[in-house]
Structure 1
Amino acid sequence: MTINVVMALTVGVLYGVGFTLLLSRSLMRVLIGVVVLGHGTNLLLQLAGGPPGRPPIVGTAPPESFADPLPQALALTAIVITFALTTFLLALGYRAFVLVGHDEVQDDVEDRRIARQKVPSAPLESGDGSDDAEQDLERADDEVEAEAARGRDRS
């Protein structure tokens, strides 16, 4: 059994597009990425199951012409899981839009502050010639907070 090169490339493109969309900051793009990944997975499972129209039941055809029913069952399971995840992400995106006014995920300033507390006390080299690493971290945090404030002001 060989897999068609065009179908293999299609699966690769679907996975590439899906993962690219998953890495974006918009919840709707993440949702579309999950759906595209689900479709790519279903196509991959159907390709692994062999050509369509082959009998999966013992006794109706010679054993070498059987279709494997496991990829078909896995594809049905993947469809159900993708549907459940899609409805959850739709609800999450809608809730974010109602509360914030947009669906873009913002930087978490509190996480930055916690990460800054875990920085070693040894001085780090900075890009502007100063030797004080704490001031550089404060400056970076201020930039993140200012960017987050600009994002809130635009909406």
Structure 2
Amino acid sequence: MELVMALAIGILFGSGIWLILRPRSFQVLTGLLLMSYAVNLFIFMMGRLWIDRPPLTLGAHLPDPATVADPLPQALVLTAIVIGFATTALYLVIMIGSRGLTGTDHVDGREPDQ
């Protein structure tokens, strides 16, 4: 299972890098999203996902650490998702404004000469 997840994360991140190097704004945005998904998966896998173990417990006594999941990776990924949505929205606004000013979605603001 570790090999499958490592391959999935590597393919997602590699695809994101490849898309970031493309000349169109939408491809750059898609590459950034793929990279953020890969990083979120990496953080989840490093935090060990547990089944049927709550991240937090409510009660007066301290729980046994072996019976609860670590809440830190979940909090980090949730924060990364929110920041990713905000960054994507900002980039979309900038991309639409650039398209309106230059008439193209090329990252340089002009089409390459043929």
TM-score by length of 2: 0.81
Q: Is the 8 A contact 1:27 1:103 kept in 2?
A: yes
Matched, 1:93 2:95: yes
**Which residue of the other structure, out of 66, 69, 81, is the alignment partner of 1:67?**
69
Q: Which has the higher contact order (CA 8 A, sep 6+)?
A: 2
Cα drift, residue 51 of structure 1: 2.3
Post-superposition Cα deviations, 1:23-44, rounded to whole Å, max 9, x if no partner, equal 2221111110111111111111
Cα drift, residue 60 of structure 1: 8.0
Q: How large is the Cα RMSD of the aligned pairs?
A: 2.4
**Which residue of the other structure, out of 14, 18, 26, is the alignment partner of 2:16?**
18
Post-superposition Cα deviations, 1:39-83, rounded to whole Å, max 9, x if no partner, equal 111111111221233222355863223311110010011101111
Q: Show the 5 A alignment for 1:17-96.
A: 17-53=15-51, 54-57=53-56, 62-96=64-98
Structure whose CA Rg is larger: 1
Task: State the secondary structure of the residue aligned to 1:104.
Answer: coil
- For 1:106 and 1:21, the matched residues in 2 are separated by 15
TM-score by length of 1: 0.62
Count of aligned pairs: 110
- Aligned partner of 1:140 in structure 2 is none
Cα drift, residue 106 of structure 1: 2.3
The runs of 5 or more residues in structure 1 that have no matched partner are 108-147
Q: Is the 8 A contact 1:31 1:89 kept in 2?
A: yes
- For 1:47 and 1:40, the matched residues in 2 are separated by 11
- For 1:15 and 1:89, the matched residues in 2 are separated by 19
Which stretch shifts more, 57-66 or 21-30? 57-66
